Amino acid sequence: MAAIQSRYPNDGPDAEIDLLAQFQVLWRGKWWIVGLSILATVATTFYTLRFVAPMYPARSTIVLEVQEQQVISDIESVFSGAGTDTSAINTEIEIFRSRQLVGQLVDDLDLVNHPEFGTTDTAGIPGALRALIGAGSGRTPEGADLRNLVIDRVIDRLSITNVRQSFVFNVSIETRDPAESVRIVNRLAELYVENQIQRKLDESTRAIQFLSLRTTELEQNLETLEQTLAQRMEQSDVIDGSVLQARNLQLRDTRDRITETETRLAQIDGLTDALDNAADAPALIDAAEATGDSRFSAIVQRFRSGRLSEAATEIALREVRSELANDRRRIEAQLTSLQRSEQELAAQFNTQSDELIELQQLEREVDTARLLYQTFLTRLQEASVQRGLETADSRILSEAIPRPASSPRVGMVAVLAASLGALSGCMIVLLREWRFSGFRTTDELRDALHTPVLGSLPALSTRDRVGVLKNLREEPNSMFSEAVRNLRTSVLMSNPDQEPQVILLTSSVPAEGKTTLSISLSRYFRALEGKRVLLVEADIRRQTLKQYFSKDHHDSVQLIDVVLGRVALEDVDLMDHELGVEVLMGSGGEFNAADLFESRRFRELIETLRQHYDHIIIDSPPVLAVPDARVLSRYSDLTVFVVHWASTTRTQVRQGLEMLASVGHPADGVVLSQVDQKKMKGYGYGGQYGYDGSSTGYYAHG
């Protein structure tokens, strides 16, 4: 099967797109394209002129004031105006489209009862919105629902644009009444300017109310703080920080005296300890000398000079110890008194410090409250003055005037409809071409199947099968006759060494012109001088061949009688005088056709026929329907495969050829039958040398 598939390859997915071929496809379908384009243009234009109401535009222009005018230059504005950056401009655009502003417009102009915006007119409303408002179900919105619906419709109609690199806005709308369009946009512009002023007045009112309330509260708070400060100053001993500083100096001096007293007490304790630790008079003298006390210096000198005895020295030193003890008691009393004074001074200092800090805090709070009160009082006065000076941040630059209708633009709609119609036509033509799976030319057969193409035959003008023989007799020089002669030549030249004797004609499916070709080919083989031709109908199931002949021939000898030996060939006359050749009709019976053709008797019959006839043309059943053709291909010298023009699909042709090749007897050539000459010219084929733009001669392999 791999060999068969390679012989009949499918078109690959990576095949390049032939733009010229696509153009030719579109050119062949030009009447589809032109027709759909004209139809779309006419239908759209008629609908536009008949059913689409004209829309009249109106536009007003508003400028955003960049610099705010100050009537009183020394008063700072309490309220901010409109910004001038991109975000502020976009915000103003959204304010134009806000439901609040548009709602005021709807109420002011009573658009709820307007026939174009109210529920009495649903023409032109999209289906989704009509379903939303209940127009399709018969429900009519009322009250707030109706007002909201009208607001939505007005917002959908509005167009707010900012002129580039400027602070100018264009407010536009389209309605069916030019005067109504002007009235709506002009009123919307006025409401926008009035809304700015009203917004500032509302802001100023709220600000003044807030400032008044807050100023009163701050005034009361300031009075309370001032009273508290006065009471605390009356109750406090501290007038200012100098008193507290004097207290601090006195406390510091007391602490210094305590330190000195403690030092003196420590010195006395040291002398006492040194004297108490001396063991004898010399040691006592050394200890006294070491202390450096002046009270010991005379005793030490007298003892060193020998003027005092040890006993006298001890007595003198004992007296000194007594003095030291008295000094110690006196100094301890002084230290206790100083410490008591230090504690009292420290307590007084701390108390006065806290009082001073509290007073200073109260003073700062009073100063802050006074400053805040003065600030709010000033802002309240400024707001009261500025309230009567507020102006809008925008002004109307130009009002709307009536203008001609802007839609429908019939010319543009017609051009668009023509373009869409042409595009639809192109899509239909390309879709039809994409879905087409047959063959139109012998070149397509050869390229797709890689099988020799023996020729092509035009379709006969007659649809009556009996008229085929009449056409062959009366029009021997017709295009069909010439095509059959060319096919005969191709068949005879298929094997230059030996002419084919048994020629088998088959196809993929029924009604491909196979029987007509068999009859025509047998007649023109008979036309060769001295040739004896036999036409055998092997399609014994359908028995189509008898429909081409007169009734007298229906009772002639049957194929089954000859195969079974019921009739001897030499005893019967098979000649059909209408066709001019001998004809062996098929016949039905109890035998299976495939079994009959595979029998020994049929094989012997073919051998016998070869001895009596120069050419034997066998009209066999379709390959895809029954196995008869595959069996008969074993007896043929040449197998001709017939393909119906623009009818038989490529898949059917490939499958039929593969089935013949599967039994080892592939088709020797392909014939394109029943070619429609008029349609071929419409497809861009045909010319002075043939009806399909190609010769009908024999095509060799490769």
514, part of any domain = yes
Q: How many CB atoms lie within 10 A of CB 159?
A: 15
- How far are the Cα atoms of 115, 119, 404, 415, 600 from residue 54, in angstroms, in the given order? 15, 20, 10, 18, 88
pLDDT of amino acid 316 = 66
Domain assignment of residue 502, yes or no: yes
Residue 204 lies in a domain: no
Displacement of CA 244 from its chain's centroid (Å): 81
Do 669 and 557 lie in one domain? The reply is: yes
Within 13 A of 130's CA, how many CA atoms are on the CB side?
Answer: 12
Structure token digits, residue 372 = 């805040």
In a domain, 365, yes or no: yes
* Res 410: pLDDT: 82
Strands 581-584 and 575-576: antiparallel
Within 13 Å and on the Cβ side, how many CA atoms surround 414?
A: 8
The CATH number for 610's domain is: 3.40.50.300
173 and 251 fall within a common domain = no
pLDDT (tens digit per residue) in 457-478: 998 877 777 778 888 888 888 8
261 with 173, same domain: the answer is: no
pLDDT of amino acid 579: 85
Reported as a single tens digit per residue, the pLDDT across 257-274 is 888 888 877 777 777 776
Q: Are residues 267 and 334 in the same domain?
A: yes
180 & 270 share domain: no
Whether 701 is in a domain gets the answer: no
> 471, 460 in Cβ contact below 8 A?
yes
Q: Are 610 and 522 found together in one domain?
A: yes
Determine the number of helices (DSSP H) and then strands (DSSP E) in the chain. 23, 12
What angle, rounded to 10 degrees, do the helices at 281-291 and 241-276 form? 160
249 and 191 in one domain?
no
pLDDT at 19: 80
Asked if 441 and 685 count as a contact pair (C-beta separation under 8 A), the reply is: yes
pLDDT score for 238 = 55
Q: Which of 469, 442, 593, 592 is nearest to 535 (CA)?
A: 469
Residue 224 covered by a domain: no
Tokens 């009208």 belong to which residue?
150
| Same domain? 133 vs 252 | no
> Domain check: are 37 and 166 in the same one?
yes
Q: Domain end: 371, 398, 425, which one?
A: 398
CATH number of the CATH domain containing 44: 3.30.1890
Q: Which structural domain range is residue 674 located in?
A: 439-682
What's the structural domain count of the chain? Answer: 3
601 and 535 within one domain? yes
The 8 Å CB, 24+ separation contacts for 97-101 are 97/155, 97/158, 97/160, 99/151, 99/155, 101/188, 101/191, 101/192, 101/195
Strand pairing category for 502-507 and 581-584: unpaired
In the prediction, which pLDDT does 6 show?
38
Report the predicted TM-score, pTM, of the whole model to 2 decimal places. 0.53
- Give yes or no for a contact between 587 and 561, defined as CB atoms under 8 angstroms apart: yes
Kindly state whether residues 643 and 523 are assigned to the same domain. yes
Predicted confidence at residue 366, as pLDDT, reads 85
What pLDDT does residue 285 have?
67
Same domain, 380 and 326: yes
Structure tokens at 72: 């009183």
pLDDT of amino acid 163: 87
Residue 416 lies in a domain: no
Whole-number pLDDT of residue 31 = 86
Amino acid at 577: H
Rounded CA-CA distance 477/482 in Å is 6
In-domain check, residue 434: no
- The residue out of 368, 389, 410 marking a domain boundary is 389
Name the stretches of the chain with pLDDT < 50: 1-15, 69-79, 121-138, 279, 554, 687-702
